[in-house]
């Protein structure tokens, strides 16, 4: 690796950008044979060098990799420097120098590149990742009061209370006359609310069945990730459901590693969250109607680069309609 050069933070950022945008060159330099696919690159893990030909995947858009046989990304770090460290078994500084030698022979001002990056998509992506999400103080929950709506639908009161679900005790704007589910990020901070209408004739009224609080980024969150995290880590598995009610059904059945994706599409940030939580296997429990199946196909093709994906055929339309006994029968692994 030669003499080590001290490289500034801004330069490191510029180098990372260069490397991410020319990642195939990095693979070549490291002697890694891979296959390029639509949004990711797959191959055997170059770090632990196992037999499995798809153990390793590099996500082109996110600029991170995952080794799902041995979790090498956890040992060395998920970004390009982590990859170099893992393959060359070197230090972080050595990995930075390796990338620097590969891309920068002194002609490129890396700090400038980091500062005036013209690739709009890159800037947007990094902003979206780093911009702090709006959080709510816990006191907001004082504005909710218990309502028996969920109990009448077979969800035990202790679960409803554990999730602090209630109806607004004062005017909540568009969230009025809805059962409100507080949503927390992976650290347990309140980041938004999802409200299910109490009107049985919501269609006739022309209102949505579900409504999210203003500014809530559903594509970057997972309902229940804060509580499910330790169970996902323990088991390596996560059950993917559509909405909060499905998660409550699993809780009722004593299954604690489920999350809801607020729809049928699994977004990249949600994939990253699941990786962070330590998921290696996704158990997909989405609606069994045709639209649900099609949605699941599209949404989980990308995920299969990062996780083992098992789709479960549900005996009813959705998990919310299943009895607790059936949920246990189908999902008890």
Please report, as ranges, the residues that interact with Zn ion according to CB under 5 A: 45, 47-48, 67, 70, 72
Nearest to 72 by CA among 296, 280, 289: 280
User: Which of residues 86 and 295 has its CB atom nearest to Zn ion in the complex?
Assistant: 86
CB of 35 to Zn ion, least distance (A): 17
Q: Helix or strand or coil: residue 300? A: helix
For Zn ion, the closer CB: 25 or 70: 70
Q: How far is the CB of 47 from Zn ion (least distance, A)?
A: 4
Where does the chain have alpha helices with state H? 9-21, 23-30, 72-76, 80-88, 92-103, 110-115, 120-130, 149-152, 157-162, 202-205, 225-235, 244-252, 268-276, 290-301, 324-331
- Of the two residues 143 and 281, which places its CB atom closer to Zn ion in the complex? 281
Minimum CB distance to Zn ion, residue 20 (Å) = 20
CA 185 to chain centre: 11
Report the residue number, 48 or 252, with the smaller CB distance to Zn ion: 48
What is the rounded CA–CA span in Å between residue 152 and residue 209? 18
Nearer to Zn ion, 45 or 261 (CB): 45
Question: Residue 3 Cβ, how far from Zn ion at the closest point, in Å?
Answer: 30
Least distance between Zn ion and beta carbon 49 (Å)? 8
Pick the closer one to Zn ion by CB: 47 or 273: 47
Alpha-carbon span 278 to 235, nearest angstrom:
9
CB of 108 to Zn ion, least distance (A): 31
Q: Which residues of 47-86 are buried (b: 16+ CB within 10 A; e: fewer)?
A: bbeeeeeebbbbbbebbbbbbbeeebbeebbbbbbbbbbb
Residues 6+ apart with CB under 8 A from 309: 281, 282, 284, 300, 303
Closer of 80 and 327 to Zn ion (Cβ): 80
- Nearest distance from residue 50's CB to Zn ion, in Å? 6
- Looking at the chain, the number of H-run helices and the number of E-run strands are 15, 13
In 3D space, the residue among 333, 141, 178, 150 whose CA is nearest the CA of residue 249 turns out to be 150
Angle between helices 9-21 and 92-103 (to 10 degrees): 60
């Amino acid at each position: 690796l030669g003499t080590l050069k001290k490289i500034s933070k801004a330069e490191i950022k510029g180098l990372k950008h260069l490397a991410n945008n020319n990642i195939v060159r990095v693979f070549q330099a490291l002697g890694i044979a891979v296959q390029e696919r639509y949004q990711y690159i797959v191959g055997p893990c170059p770090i632990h060098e196992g037999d499995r030909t798809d153990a390793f995947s590099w996500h082109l858009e996110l600029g991170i990799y995952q080794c799902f046989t041995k979790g090498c990304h956890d040992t060395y770090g998920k970004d390009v420097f982590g990859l170099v460290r893992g393959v060359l078994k070197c230090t972080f500084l050595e990995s930075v120098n390796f990338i620097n030698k590969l891309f920068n022979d002194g002609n490129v001002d890396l700090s400038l590149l980091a500062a005036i990056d013209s690739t709009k998509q890159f800037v947007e992506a990094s902003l979206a990742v780093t911009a702090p999400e709006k959080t709510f103080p816990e006191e907001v929950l004082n504005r909710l009061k218990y309502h028996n709506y969920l109990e009448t639908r077979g969800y035990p009161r202790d679960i409803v209370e554990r999730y602090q679900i209630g109806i607004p005790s004062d005017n909540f704007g568009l969230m009025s006359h809805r059962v409100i589910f507080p949503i927390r990020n992976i650290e347990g901070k309140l980041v938004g609310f999802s409200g299910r209408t109490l009107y049985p004739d919501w269609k006739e009224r022309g209102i949505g069945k579900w409504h999210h609080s203003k500014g809530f980024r559903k594509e970057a969150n997972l309902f229940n990730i804060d509580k499910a995290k330790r169970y996902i880590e323990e088991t390596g598995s996560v059950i993917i459901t559509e909405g909060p009610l499905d998660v409550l059904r699993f809780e009722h059945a004593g299954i604690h590693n489920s999350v809801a994706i607020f729809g049928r599409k699994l977004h990249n940030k949600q994939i990253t969250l699941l990786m962070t939580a330590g998921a290696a296997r996704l158990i997909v429990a989405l609606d069994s109607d045709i639209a649900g199946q099609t949605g699941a196909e599209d949404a989980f093709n990308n995920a299969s680069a990062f996780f083992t994906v098992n789709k479960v055929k549900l005996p009813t339309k959705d998990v919310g309609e299943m009895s607790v006994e059936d949920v246990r029968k189908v999902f008890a692994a």
